[in-house]
């Protein structure tokens, strides 16, 4: 006659036999790839580029650019006066 105790022992021994044959693989954790992190990274890169461009523009603005001299400095330029209309009475 089978007792409950014998059935439990036999099932336990069966389970131990199965575990010896089949080895449990260790799960490897993979990092999550979230869209919010990607968007944040893109925003940071764009912001860094923008800052770099702004600093380059500021450095260019600091360098004074001299205006060139007129082509002829020997004779002063004489402008033609506009024609003045006579007063009518």
- Tens digit of each residue's pLDDT (9 = 90 or more) over 24-65: 888 888 888 889 999 999 999 999 999 999 999 999 999 988
Structure tokens at 7: 């059935």
Summary mean pLDDT of the chain: 79
Model-wide pTM > 0.95: no
What residue ranges do the domains of the chain occupy? 33-63
Burial 50-66 (b: 16+ CB within 10 A, else e): eeeeeeeeeeeeeeeee
Give the span between the Cα atoms of 46 and 28, in whole angstroms: 34
Tokens of 64: 């004074």
């Amino acid at each position: 006659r089978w007792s409950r105790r014998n059935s439990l022992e036999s099932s336990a021994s069966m389970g131990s036999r199965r575990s010896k044959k089949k080895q449990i693989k260790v799960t490897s954790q993979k990092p999550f790839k979230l869209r919010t992190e990607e968007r944040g990274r893109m925003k940071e890169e764009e912001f860094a580029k923008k800052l770099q461009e702004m600093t380059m523009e500021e450095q260019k603005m600091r360098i004074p650019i001299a205006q060139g001299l007129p082509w002829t400095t020997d004779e002063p330029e004489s402008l033609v006066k506009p024609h003045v209309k006579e007063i009518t009475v």
